[in-house]
Amino acid sequence: MDGLYIKKNEGISLEAGIESVGSLRLLAQAGGLEVMRQSILKGATVWITPAEDVETLEFFYILSGALEMKVDGSPQQLAAGDSFYVHGLRDELLIRARQSTELLYITNRPLFDSLFGFQDDLTNLLRQIDEKDHYTYAHSVHVMCYSAKILEQMALDGMDTATVSLDTLMVASLFHDIGKCFVPDEILKKRQPLTKSEQRFIVRHPMDSARILKQRFDEKIVEIARNHHERLDGSGYPFGLIGDEISVEARMIGVADSFDAMTTDRGYNRQMGCLEAAEELYALKDRYDRRVTGALLTLARSGALEEIRKGDGSARP
């Protein structure tokens, strides 16, 4: 019949680069209008960013499940049958799935292809990490989740985070260690302390991360990943930057990175509990930004960080 289009359960599907997030499927498109079905797994966090085109409208209808979003600092609960749309959005909107959720997603501007290309880059990079060393993959996902939580807590604490893009932070934190693809396996997977000559390979990885990310992402993401091992007192690497020479995003990922290393058993370290590690980082005020470690400590005391670690069974009291 003219004008009728039937689409069975097939077609282009965009699987999230992180298995614990969900997927996006294109159902129909015409004249700039796109209809998609989005799946978000329980506990996953996604975000909606302001569109470059101010006329872009994005409509979401909850088919099943339950979501939570924060609007002007107040949590809003949404369930099956509820809907919302964004038009002229100025700030990033963070959404968390309280249950596994299915959404009907409609936009008046073509977005799927750009999302697909961006996601394809992410998936390829993640595959490189996982094939090289699964620990580094799990660590990268943890650091991304911790960084997002820290940003959220800093905002709740009344700090000015308006200049921090959640989108940029998430990508930089997820791929901060992609440069370890160039570290020899026998060094990367070694469960004993590294020798000085072996440490030189590790110290080089932020520069290698920057070199890989520069091929795909903007300079801000490159800078954050390159500087995540820099410390306020100049004791970090690769450049020995100090104070304001280090962006707040790099400071946040530096704290998240150190925290995950301290709370993970790597064979040569004493694995700490979340609260103990957060307290130790907070005490190192010359190296780490107190605004960041203070937010981390608040999260540790609330138990929010344990929830992230439960995904792989490595949480400790």
Catalytic residues: 180
Q: Which of 58, 57, 169, 162 is closest to 104 using CA atoms? A: 58
- Measured CA to CA in angstroms, residue 56 lies from 64, 70, 89, 90, 163 at distances of 25, 21, 9, 12, 22
Sheet holding 33-40, edge to edge: 13-15, 22-30, 33-40, 101-107, 57-64, 83-87
The phi and psi torsions of 248 (rounded to 5 degrees) equal -65, -30
